[in-house]
């Protein structure tokens, strides 16, 4: 049945208001609009115009002042919050969830919100006027420093929209650097990210080919880069050293997507001499929010500085020798280079990068190591327990971080999830289209032993 | 903002002392598994080691070195730096929104989906374009999605190979040509005429069946609504091309006119502009895209729809979708704020927003036009922004940059400077509707004082700003000798 894509709902009927208590029509002045009618009249007199409507004479008359069919305003805070609470109540995280697959539930230290909630960083503009933006700029410079350390890479930008777009920009950048028009993408990269990479490349006439994760021979001298995710979509660790060798032999670049939480424990892309290393920064001090808080970590080698997209903050001094920070190498960017810019990116994810910075500071090097280890141990404990349940198997052999794939052939993973949900447990991601009978489970430091045991017991009871 | 006792420039790394920490994890409650020794990080992890008090002091110190909406007005043209309502922050923090994983079964996220579905509807009402996707994560991302949809439309008609050109006015924001190039198009610049509108004669000479689309900002980056917009749309449609609207200036249009009714085929909105979501120092934002029925099937994935078969909201991938724009569904935490904002204002409230935004800009224009040059639109009303310039002050050796920096001393963030490119020494002033008459009067007084200083004591402008933690920074040095990160001391 063909679904209408456009939205038309009549807001005059009561039936549409069931979630909206007491609708209050906006009575000027609205709390967000200071000027009273008296003040507006004064201003109109200064301008020399009879009415506000007259200021819009240059808008085509036949289309002026449409009546917008929107719900009556919830102008009072009480009414708005009551409505939002009722919506929030219809989102249920379950007793416990074992979902991963590119979004992970990690702890959010209180200090993060105490900083990012401050008006001075929340409502600040892009730091084009550095003298009044040293907070944002220094914060960004510290962020750049920390992700370079974490990924063991030479330089970083201030962040891109998310992992998928960072990966796509990495592919485009590889094509620019090498002058080649083909990207090889391992089939173990997150399918959503792979789709975005392919789409971005296709629009610029760059070919993207999906290859098996060990097909080292696929690299040829037309290959701009090989794109790898490690730990991969299924949670398993890819052989970056073999890929580095294969790409080096053919003059291709290696672009690696790596979970930042894993890098407290696992060897970062920089240790394999990756050319470009990206990651999803949401896990560093942010809530899941339906996958709606994102940060595309983007790092590369110093020699590729001029080809790197995104904003970059550099350190410098003022006339009196005081140290300060500025946006730099802006000649790469859209506001200067326009159609010859490395990317069209402008507003990105600055506040999320600040959250990541505060979070990485809160953990410190020991904390990040311990965090990664806890993820590892809890996931391995879960996997070992599940493997012992009759009928269940670990479907993939190999080292994993905090995600793994189980199966109970011939049972469909969607059925397993359904049975788990009946007990209030949100299970895993059905990956059976890629691994027959496969269910992708994730365990983080947030899961307690009791919760893991609950899952194991529930899996054992699935009929 | 006075100078800090904690010297400007001391980074968190310089405050690190080995052994300190800001957090403790709960003890591991499961047996350990042997770590794979061949797969362990070898490089030292150089993150700062500080206590929690030092962490707070450091980052709070950073916040004290920022101007923000809480400090004063940002009259930044095309940025719409309006007040960001605080109740939205409380909304986003609710556990029922914050703790939800994107891959949860749809039955467990109906609250989220209802909010997003309704937001789509609000944006359809506002724009007059019924097909909406909330997936783009910034304005430029919305532009990219829109232009990719244009390309998909032409490809679907078998005309992608022949239509390689996108027309872009010389007054356009840099993201427009950058977007067109990124989407695989050739950019052709269209001149503006002496009124600041698109030069129709020049446009005529460029029109043809090799044109995919034109990108137009309405009102323009000069703050003026192009008088020829209906003709522009008709001419483009006449050669089978589409009209892309850059919605950065939508704060002038809410309840005033619907771009879709003027002939725009696809438009994006910057929620961190018109919909009051916080700018965050450079994001997160959102750039939802609204399109005509003809383009609906190409919308990015996902669109939220009402699935009548299951009586629930669900994700929908349009038939010939341009595909995903990101790993998940967009910056939904930002979108939730936009939803709450529009819900708080309603149709009358939104119209009051645009009316007051335009009133405020015209008020400022009228009070400054005798001291600052206005190249375009002197004789007509402006919309929500006015472009003045520093050409009258230039002969005294005072630059637009000097004027901008002196304004900082007087308590205001500078306006957008040196843009659009067609105005020499431009200053784009956009007060927004959330500024009071007193603030506008103070801004006008400050600008008039600076104009006097430009003539009488220009050296004050050259050396400005004077009261910030740092003075003008050596940007040439920053680019020449890039220092882009802290480096651990050599072992």
Residue B396: per-residue pLDDT: 93
Q: Is B379 on the interface with A (CB under 8 A)?
A: no
Contact between B91 and A82 under an 8 Å Cβ cutoff? The reply is no
All residues of chain A having their beta carbon less than 8 Å from the beta carbon of residue B333 are 287, 289-290, 292-293
Contact between A74 and A25 under an 8 Å Cβ cutoff? The reply is no
**Does residue B270 carry a pLDDT above 50?**
yes
Q: Is A110 on the interface with B (CB under 8 A)?
A: no
The angle subtended at Cα B296 by Cα B290 and Cα B302, nearest 5°, is: 75
CA B2 and chain centroid, separation:
30
Q: Is A249 on the interface with B (CB under 8 A)?
A: no
Residue A3: per-residue pLDDT: 31
Residue with tokens 């098996």: A212
Residue with tokens 């910056």: B331
Among A158, A134, A160, smallest CA distance to A144 is for: A158
Q: Where would I find the H helices in B318-436? A: 332-368, 400-409
Residue A16: per-residue pLDDT: 38
DSSP conformation letters of A313-360: EEEEEBTT--EEEEE--GGGSHHHHGGGSS----S--HHHHHHHHHHH
- Mean pLDDT value across residues B140-159: 98
CA A238 and chain centroid, separation:
22
Among A294, A375, A364, A326, smallest CA distance to A146 is for: A364
Asked if A328 and B128 come within 8 Å (Cβ–Cβ), the reply is: no
Residues 314-333 of B with CB under 8 A from A: 316, 318, 322-333
Asked if A237 and B69 come within 8 Å (Cβ–Cβ), the reply is: no
CA distance B216 to chain A (A): 15
Whole-number Å distance between alpha carbons of A154 and A160: 17
All residues of chain A having their beta carbon less than 8 Å from the beta carbon of residue B104 are 93-94, 97, 99, 426
Contact between A117 and B78 under an 8 Å Cβ cutoff? The reply is no
All residues of chain A having their beta carbon less than 8 Å from the beta carbon of residue B180 are 339
CA distance B392 to chain A (A): 22
Per-residue pLDDT reduced to its tens digit, B172-214: 998 999 999 999 999 999 999 999 999 999 999 999 999 999 9
**ipTM of this model?**
0.97
Name the burial class of residue A45, with classes exposed (0-12), middle (13-18) and buried (19+) by CB atoms within 10 angstroms of its CB: exposed
Asked if A80 and B366 come within 8 Å (Cβ–Cβ), the reply is: no
Residue A28: per-residue pLDDT: 55
Q: Is A112 on the interface with B (CB under 8 A)?
A: no
Percent of chain B with pLDDT over 70: 98
DSSP conformation letters of A114-128: HHHTSHHHHSPPPSS
Among A65, A391, A266, A3, smallest CA distance to B319 is for: A3
Residue A365: per-residue pLDDT: 98
Q: Which of B272, B326, B360 sits opposite A161 (nearest CB)?
A: B326
All residues of chain B having their beta carbon less than 8 Å from the beta carbon of residue A205 are 184
Where is A277: in which H helix or E strand? Answer: strand A276-280
How confident is chain A (463 residues) per 10-residue block, as mean pLDDT? 40 38 48 94 97 96 93 92 97 94 97 98 98 98 98 98 98 97 98 98 96 96 98 97 97 98 98 98 98 97 96 96 95 82 90 98 98 98 98 97 98 98 97 98 98 98 95
| Strand blocks (E) in B22-146 | 131-133
Q: Where would I find the H helices in B163-278? A: 175-182, 200-206, 229-238
Asked if B22 and A237 come within 8 Å (Cβ–Cβ), the reply is: no
Contact between A223 and A116 under an 8 Å Cβ cutoff? The reply is no
Asked if B41 and A263 come within 8 Å (Cβ–Cβ), the reply is: yes
Q: Any residues with CB less than 8 A from the CB of B472 and at least 6 apart, and which?
A: A131, A318, A319, B405, B465
Among A150, A198, A184, A197, smallest CA distance to A253 is for: A184
Parallel, antiparallel, or unpaired for β A96-97 and A425-426? parallel
Name the burial class of residue A82, with classes exposed (0-12), middle (13-18) and buried (19+) by CB atoms within 10 angstroms of its CB: middle
How many alpha carbons lie under 13 Å from residue A381 in its C-beta half-sphere? 23
Best mutation target among A91, A111, A349, A366 (most B Cβ atoms within 10 Å) is: A91
CA distance A322 to chain B (A): 6
Q: Any residues with CB less than 8 A from the CB of B155 and at least 6 apart, and which?
A: none
Parallel, antiparallel, or unpaired for β B211-217 and B242-247? parallel
Q: Is A262 on the interface with B (CB under 8 A)?
A: no
Whole-number Å distance between alpha carbons of A442 and A429: 9
Q: Is A387 on the interface with B (CB under 8 A)?
A: no
Please state the pTM of the whole predicted model.
0.96
**Does residue B388 carry a pLDDT above 90?**
yes
Residue A332: per-residue pLDDT: 82
Parallel, antiparallel, or unpaired for β B289-291 and B312-316? unpaired
pLDDT tier at B489 (50, 70, 90 boundaries)?
confident
């Amino acid at each position: 049945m063909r679904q209408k894509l456009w939205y038309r709902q009549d807001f005059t009927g009561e039936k549409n208001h069931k979630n909206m208590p007491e609708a209050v029509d906006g009575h000027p002045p609205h709390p967000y609009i200071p000027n009273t009618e008296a003040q507006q009249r004064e201003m109109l007199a200064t301008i020399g115009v009879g009415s506000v409507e007259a200021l819009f004479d240059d808008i085509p008359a036949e289309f002026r002042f449409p009546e917008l069919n929107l719900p009556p305003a919830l102008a009072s805070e009480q009414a708005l919050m009551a409505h939002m609470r009722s919506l929030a109540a219809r989102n249920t995280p379950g007793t416990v969830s074992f979902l991963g697959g590119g979004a992970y539930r990690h702890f959010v230290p209180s200090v993060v919100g105490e900083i990012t909630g401050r008006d001075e960083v929340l409502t600040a503009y892009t730091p084009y006027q550095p003298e009044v933006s040293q907070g944002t700029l220094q914060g960004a410079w510290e962020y750049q420093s920390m992700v370079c350390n974490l990924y063991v890479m030479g330089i970083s930008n201030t962040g891109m929209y998310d992992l998928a777009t960072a990966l796509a920009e990495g592919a485009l950048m590889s094509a620019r650097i090498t002058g080649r028009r083909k990207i090889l993408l391992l089939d173990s990269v997150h399918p959503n990210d792979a789709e975005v990479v392919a789409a971005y490349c296709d629009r610029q006439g760059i070919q993207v080919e999906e290859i098996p994760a060990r097909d080292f021979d696929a690299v040829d001298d037309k290959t701009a880069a090989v794109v790898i995710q490690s730990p991969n979509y299924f949670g398993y660790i890819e052989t970056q050293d073999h890929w580095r060798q294969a790409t080096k032999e053919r003059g291709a670049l290696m672009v690696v997507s790596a979970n930042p939480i894993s890098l407290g424990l696992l060897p970062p892309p920089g240790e394999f001499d990756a050319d470009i290393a990206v990651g999803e920064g949401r896990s560093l001090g942010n809530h899941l929010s339906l996958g709606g808080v994102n940060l595309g970590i983007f790092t590369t080698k110093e020699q590729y500085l001029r080809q790197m997209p995104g904003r970059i903050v550099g350190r410098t001094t003022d006339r009196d020798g005081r140290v300060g920070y500025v946006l730099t190498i802006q000649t790469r960017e859209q506001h200067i280079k326009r159609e010859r810019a490395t990317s069209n990116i402008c507003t990105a994810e600055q506040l999320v990068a600040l959250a990541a910075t505060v979070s990485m500071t809160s953990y410190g090097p020991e904390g990040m190591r311990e965090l990664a280890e806890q993820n590892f141990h809890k996931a391995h404990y879960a996997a070992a327990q599940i493997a012992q349940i009759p009928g269940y198997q670990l479907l993939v052999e190999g080292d994993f971080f905090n995600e793994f794939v189980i199966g109970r052939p011939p049972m469909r993973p969607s059925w397993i999830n359904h049975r788990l949900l009946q007990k209030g447990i949100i299970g895993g991601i059905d990956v059976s289209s890629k691994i027959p009978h496969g269910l992708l489970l994730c365990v983080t430091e947030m899961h307690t032993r009791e919760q893991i045991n609950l899952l194991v017991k529930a899996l054992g009871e699935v009929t | 903002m006075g100078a800090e006792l904690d010297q400007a420039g001391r980074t968190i790394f310089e405050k690190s002392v080995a052994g300190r920490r800001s957090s403790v994890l709960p003890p591991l409650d499961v047996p350990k598994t042997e770590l794979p020794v061949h797969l362990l990080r070898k490089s030292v992890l150089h993150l700062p080691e500080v206590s929690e008090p030092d962490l707070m002091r450091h980052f709070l110190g950073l916040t004290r070195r920022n101007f923000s909406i809480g400090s004063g007005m940002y009259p930044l043209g095309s940025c719409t730096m309006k007040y960001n309502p605080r109740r939205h922050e409380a909304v986003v923090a609710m556990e029922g929104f914050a703790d939800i994983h994107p891959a949860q079964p749809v039955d467990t996220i109906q609250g989220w989906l209802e909010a997003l579905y309704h937001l789509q509807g609000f944006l359809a009402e506002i724009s007059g374009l019924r097909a909406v996707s909330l997936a783009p994560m910034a304005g430029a991302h919305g532009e990219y999605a829109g232009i990719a949809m244009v390309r998909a439309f032409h490809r679907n008609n078998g005309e992608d190979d022949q239509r390689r050109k996108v027309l872009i006015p010389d007054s356009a924001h840099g993201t427009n040509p950058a977007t067109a190039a990124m989407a695989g198009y050739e950019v052709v610049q269209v001149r503006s005429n002496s009124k600041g509108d698109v030069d129709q004669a020049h446009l005529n000479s460029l029109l043809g069946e090799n044109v995919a689309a034109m990108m137009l900002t309405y009102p323009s980056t000069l703050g003026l609504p192009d008088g020829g917009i209906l003709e522009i749309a008709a001419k483009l449609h006449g050669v089978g091309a589409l009209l892309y609207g850059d919605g950065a200036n939508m704060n002038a249009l809410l309840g005033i006119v619907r771009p879709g009714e003027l002939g725009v085929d696809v438009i994006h909105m910057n929620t961190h502009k018109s919909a009051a979501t916080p700018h965050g120092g450079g994001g997160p934002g959102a750039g939802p895209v609204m399109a005509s029925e003809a383009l609906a099937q190409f919308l990015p994935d996902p669109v939220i729809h009402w699935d009548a078969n299951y009586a629930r909201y669900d994700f929908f991938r349009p038939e010939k979708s341009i595909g995903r724009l990101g790993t998940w569904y967009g910056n939904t935490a930002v979108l939730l704020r936009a939803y709450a904002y529009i819900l708080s204002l309603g149709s009358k409230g939104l119209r009051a927003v645009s009316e007051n935004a335009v009133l405020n800009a015209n008020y400022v224009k009228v009070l400054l036009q005798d001291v600052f040059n206005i190249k375009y639109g002197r004789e007509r009303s402006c919309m929500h922004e006015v472009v003045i310039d520093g050409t009258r002050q230039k002969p005294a050796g005072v630059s637009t940059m000097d004027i901008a920096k002196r304004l900082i001393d007087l308590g205001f963030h500078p306006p957008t400077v040196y843009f659009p490119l067609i105005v020499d020494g431009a200053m784009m002033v956009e007060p927004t509707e959330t500024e009071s008459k007193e603030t506008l009067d103070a801004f006008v007084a400050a600008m008039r004082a600076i104009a006097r200083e430009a003539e009488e004591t220009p050296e004050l402008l050259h050396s400005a700003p004077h009261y910030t933690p740092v003075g003008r920074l050596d940007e040439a040095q920053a680019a020449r000798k890039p220092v882009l990160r802290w480096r651990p001391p050599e072992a």
